[in-house]
Structure 1
Amino acid sequence: MRLSIPHVEFFEMYQLCTVDVWDTLLRRRCHPEAIKLAVARHVRLRYHSQLHPEMQDQWALYNARIDAELTIAHRTRETGHDDEYELKDVFYRWLSAVCPSIDADSLEAAVKELRQHELQVEIENTYRDEGILTLLEKYKAERVMYLSDFYMASDLLDALLAHHGLDAVLSGGLVSCDVGLNKRSGNLFRYIQEREGVPAEAHVHIGDNPHSDVYMPSKFGIKGVLYEPEKAHSERLVRNELFSSRAALFAHVQEKINSASAASAPKGNQTAQGMFLLGVQSAPLFAGLALFIAERSRLDNLDKLYFLTREGLFFLRVFQALFPENRHAGLSLPTGNVLAVSRIATFLASLNFASIEELSRIWRLNSQQKISTLLKILDLDPLIAEPFLKRHGLELEMVLNQPQEDSRVQALLSDKVFSSILINKAAERRALLSAYLEQEGATGGHIGIVDIGWRGTIQDNIALTRPDIQWSGYYVALRKFLNPQPNNTKKHAYVLEEGRDGEKDLFESFEPLELLCNCAIGSTISYVQGADETVIPLEDTTKEEAVLIKNYVRYFQDGVTFATERWAPFLSSHAVSSQEMRPLALKVWQHICNTPPSELVEAYYSCLQHDPFGFGGFFDRGAVPSLNTIVWGIISRRKRREVIHYVRRTQWSAALEGLPIGPIHKAALTTVFRIAKVYKRFVLMRHS
Structure 2
Amino acid sequence: MYWISELHRKLVENNVKQVFFLSREGQPLKKMFDSYCTHSGQHIQSRYLEVSRRATLLPSLQSLEKEKFTTLFRQYRSMSLFEFLSSIGLEEFRTELVVLLGISVKELEQRHEDFPESKLFQNLIENSKFKQIFDEQRTLRRSVFWRYLSSLAEDDVPEELVVVDVGWKGTIQDNLYALLCNEAASTVKRVTGYYIGLVAEGAAGPMNTKHGLLFSTNNGRSPRYHIFNENRALFEIVLAADHGSAASYAIDNDGTATAVHDEFHEKEMLENLVFPVQRHIFEHFNRMLSAPPPSLNQVAKTHARLVFQPTRNEVYWFSSVFHVENFGVFERSFFTSMSSKPSISARLKFLFTVLRRNGRGLLGFWPWKKLDERVGRPIANLYGLIRYLQK
Report the equivalent of 1:396.
Answer: 108
Aligned to 2:72: 362
SS of aligned partner of 1:526:
strand
In the alignment, which of 98, 105, 111 is matched to residue 386 of structure 1? 98
Write the mapping of 1:113-262 to structure 2, written as runs, cut at 5 A.
none
> Displacement of 1:504 after TM fit?
4.1
List alignment gaps of at least 5 residues for structure 2. Answer: 182-186, 350-360, 384-391
Q: Secondary structure at the match of 1:570?
A: coil
Q: How big is each residue's C-alpha offset from its partner over 1:233-265, in whole Å with a ceiling of 9 and x where there is no partner? A: xxxxxxxxxxxxxxxxxxxxxxxxxxxxxxxxx
Structure 1 residues 597, 548: closer, same or farther in 2, change over 3 A?
farther
TM-score (norm 1): 0.46
Q: Does 1:552 align with 2:273?
A: yes
Which of residues 140, 143, 146 in structure 2 aligns to 1:431?
A: 143
Equivalent residue letter for 1:567: M
Q: Is 1:462 paired with 2:181?
A: no
Match of 1:667 among 370, 374, 377: 374
Letter in 2 for 1:557: Q
Classify the secondary structure of the residue corresponding to 1:323: helix
Q: Is contact 1:459-1:471 (8 Å) kept? A: yes
Structure 1 residues 622 and 399 mapped into 2: Cα distance closer, same or farther (>3 Å)? same
Helix, strand or coil at the partner of 1:622? coil
* Correspondences of 1:148-547 after superposition (within 5 Å): 287-325=1-39, 327=41, 332-354=42-64, 357-380=67-90, 381-390=93-102, 395-406=107-118, 408-441=120-153, 443-467=157-181, 468-469=187-188, 470-481=190-201, 483-485=202-204, 488-498=207-217, 499-501=220-222, 503-504=225-226, 506-507=228-229, 509-542=231-264, 545-547=266-268
Query: Could you say which structure has the larger radius of gyration?
Result: 1
Q: Does 1:593 align with 2:315?
A: no
CA 1:525 to 1:565, structure 2 compared with 1: closer, same or farther past 3 Å?
A: same
Tell me what 1:262 maps to: none
Query: 1:430 and 1:487, CA in 2 relative to 1: closer, same or farther beyond 3 A?
Result: farther
Residue 451 of structure 1, CA deviation: 0.6
CA root-mean-square deviation: 3.5
Cα distance, 1:515–1:541 mapped onto 2, change above 3 Å: farther
Alpha-carbon spacing, 1:379–1:542, altered in 2? closer, same or farther (3 Å): closer
Whether 2:343 is the aligned partner of 1:616: answer no
Q: What is the distance in 1 between the residues matched to 2:40 and 2:191?
A: 21
Cα distance change of structure 1 residues 589 and 448 upon mapping to structure 2, 3 Å threshold: farther
Is contact 1:307-1:338 (8 Å) kept?
A: yes
Percent of paired sites with the same residue: 21
Q: 1:551 to 1:419 in 2, by over 3 A?
A: same
- Preserved CA contact (<8 Å) 1:449 1:474: yes
**Are the aligned partners of 1:596 and 1:655 in contact in 2 as well (CA < 8 Å)?**
no
Equivalent of residue 562 in structure 1, options 280, 283, 289: 283
Separation in 1, partners of 2:139, 2:170:
23
Q: Which residue of 1 aligns with 2:389?
A: none
Q: Give, in whole Å, the separation in 1 of the partners of 2:267 and 2:61.
A: 32
- Give the partner amino acid of 2:8: A
1:537 Cα deviation (Å)? Answer: 1.5
Which protein is richer in helix relative to its size? Answer: 1
Q: How many residues align?
A: 353
Task: Between 524-533 and 592-601, report the one with greater CA deviation.
Answer: 592-601
Structure 1 residue 517, shift from structure 2 partner: 1.1
Given the superposition, is the C-alpha separation of residues 307 and 620 from structure 1 closer, same or farther in structure 2, using an over 3 Å criterion?
same
Could you say if the C-alpha distance between residues 479 and 390 of structure 1 is closer, same or farther in structure 2, counting changes exceeding 3 Å? farther
1:271 counterpart residue number? none
What 5-or-longer segments of structure 1 have no aligned partner?
A: 1-286, 635-646, 659-665, 678-688
CA offsets 1:330-364 (integer angstroms, 9 cap, x no match) = xx432112111111111111112225754121111
Is 1:651 the counterpart of 2:372 in the alignment? no
Letter in 2 for 1:309: S
1:533, CA displacement in angstroms? Answer: 0.8
Deviations 1:637-687 (A, max 9, x none): xxxxxxxxxx779422344599xxxxxxx436999x9xxx9xxxxxxxxxx
Higher relative contact order (CA 8 A, sep 6+): 2
Kindly tell me: are residues 649 and 388 of structure 1, through their superposed partners in 2, closer, same or farther at Cα, counting changes over 3 Å? farther
Do 1:369 and 1:613's aligned partners in 2 also have CA atoms closer than 8 Å?
A: no
SS at the partner of 2:316?
Answer: helix
Q: Deviations over 1:93-146 (max 9, x none)?
A: xxxxxxxxxxxxxxxxxxxxxxxxxxxxxxxxxxxxxxxxxxxxxxxxxxxxxx
The DSSP-based 3-state class of the residue aligned with 2:196 is strand
Deviation string 1:612-631 (CA, Å, 9 cap, x unpaired) is 22332334443969999x97
1:570 positional shift: 2.8
Instruction: After superposition, give the CA deviation of every residue in 1:569-605 in whole Å (9 maximum; x if it has no partner).
Output: 332xxxx6xxx73223333443333233444433333
In structure 1, the residue matched to 2:320 is: 606
Q: Distance in 2 between matches of 1:620 and 1:520?
A: 20
TM-score of the superposed pair, with normalisation by structure 2: 0.78
CA contact (8 A) 1:302 1:447 kept: no
CA distance in 2, matches of 1:609, 1:494: 24
Identify if the C-alpha distance between structure 1 residues 395 and 486 changes in structure 2 by more than 3 Å, giving closer, same or farther. farther
